[in-house]
Every structure is written in C-alpha cells, then in structure tokens.
Chain A
C-alpha cells in the first residue's frame, strides 16, 4: 500500500500538560500575560466552549516550566476540581502538504498509533499539521511507528 508523504515529523519528550475547566474564563488573559512575563512558552493548546459557556482549555509547557506555571495557576480563582496536570507527556506531530490533498492522513496517523496501544491524550489538527499528545514514555515508540506509517524525507524525523 502506498504511504502518505509528509514534509517532516516533529517530536518533544519533555512536556507537561495542564487542563483547566473554567466557568468564567475572564481570568485567562491575565494568566497568559503572567506566563508571558515569566517567559513560559505554550507548546500546544486546544480549547473549546460547552453550550453552557464553560471553557475547557488544555495546554503544554516545557516540563522545566511546570512548577512556575502551576504556581501562576494557583493565583487564579479556580474551583477545587478545575485543574488537572499530567506531569510527563510528549508530543509527536506530522507536518505535511495541505491535508485536503491527502484525504485520510490523520486517520492513518491515529490508527498507526492507537492500533499499537498508544493512548492519545489530546489532538490538534489544522490545515497541514497534526499534533498528538501522548505519554512521554511512548514518544520514542511513536516515532518508530510513524517512520513505518509515512514516507518521510531523510533527516526529517
């Protein structure tokens, strides 16, 4: 079977994932301003609103920035169960041609990883990149799986 060709495969093994559930997302601008002032980079972000206006936001920071991020979050008026942290996560991503030119490319990536038992914690897919957040301990194995699943130019993984 012909394999999809991608431009490159990206990865990061040393991330932490932070999930927040907020009924009043007004404090978010201040939170992100504080993270910016502390030079904390957002490596991944997904968010969505529920019908009732509750916001679910998940983002990743470098693991070395987690303590500072956590302390910043504790200044927010959060409800007790509004914060969830996965300390050791990683990311694998494909960057390819416009996905409209290659129907099913995300299915191939998801199927390749999940059929080997990898847990996918979060996904962000837009025009030509797809990021999957997985347990950090699985990143090396995930890269091997993606190497088999896709046609990747030499040196681009």
Chain B
C-alpha cells in the first residue's frame, strides 16, 4: 500500500511557527493577515481549523528573519483579535509530500509514521497537489527519512 503513493517530498527550513488559539471572528483572522501584509511579512503557511464552539485556531509560519517583528505584532493585536493565546512554536520546517491525488490514506500514514517516532506534528494542510506538515526544525531530517521510507522513496 505504501509504495509510490507519492512521487517526492519537498522541504522548507528556516521558518518559525505561531499558534493563535481560539479566535472567534472571521474578521479577526483578516486583521492578522492584513497587519502582516502591511509589514511586508510573507506568510509561508496558514492553517485555520474550526472548533465546535465556533472558535478557530490558526497556525502560521513565517521566515526566521521575520520572527521578532511577527511576534511583536501578534502580541500587540492579541487583545484586538480576542485570541485566547498567542504561542510561538519556535523553529520549524515544512515537509510537503506530492502529489496526493486526494488519497485519504496518505494523511493517516503521515500521522502514524510521525506519531510512532514521537515526532510532534504541529500542523498539516492540503493544497492543490501536496500535503504539508509543520515539524520542529531539529526533527525535519529524521521525519524526511522516515516518510521517504514509508512511501517507498528511498
């Protein structure tokens, strides 16, 4: 089952992630995006996950060079956007497995592989052709190796 479900894995390093917990309104997510855009901070990854209580959690990743300005900005607008918590998640990298062709099994295989190796998966998001995983920077190479083996790429 694991062989050649995907063709390759791209990696992106030198990022920092932030978790904005329990944002209520659509417009509050917009405020975050707008303020970052005004400061010309590029967002490499955004994941908004709805919660049953009507809240949403947002995970975003920016380049390391922008980490201080991003953190300062998020702290500044934390009360405006009514986020319960703004947590820096530290240095992260992103592994993008492609193409997923909307196969359900790929997501489960990724989660199980990382879980078995005790590698925390901060966030995950699908795009047109790839499934991207946000992982602690120090564990990117180990995760890459494990996922490559799992999907028969090495």
Chain A interface residues toward B at CB < 8 A: 10, 17, 19, 21, 25-26, 28-33, 35-36, 40-51, 55-59, 81, 84, 93, 95, 99-100, 103-104, 106-108, 110-111, 114-115, 118-131
Contact = CB atoms under 8 A, between A and B. Distances in A.
B49 A45 contact: no
A124 B112 contact: no
The 7 closest A-B pairs by CB, nearest first: A32-B108, A104-B37, A123-B48, A41-B102, A29-B108, A35-B104, A36-B105
A40 B102 CA distance: 9
B-side binding surface: helix, strand, loop or mixed?
A: mixed
Contacts of A93: 128
Interface residues of B, number: 57
Interface of B: 1, 12, 19, 21, 26-27, 29-30, 33-34, 36-38, 40-52, 56-59, 87, 94, 96, 100, 102-109, 111-112, 115, 120-128, 130-132
A36 B125 contact: no
B96 A48 contact: no
B86 to A, nearest CB: 13
Given A46-B125, A119-B26, A126-B125, A28 B111 contact: yes
A92 to B, nearest CB: 13
Given A111-B34, A124-B47, A45 B126 contact: yes
Given A50-B21, A103-B41, A127-B96, 20 more contacts: A25-B111, A29-B112, A32-B104, A33-B105, A44-B126, A46-B125, A47-B47, A47-B107, A47-B111, A48-B47, A49-B122, A95-B128, A104-B38, A107-B30, A119-B26, A124-B126, A124-B127, A126-B125, A131-B126, A131-B127
Contacts of A51: 87
Nearest to A100: B42
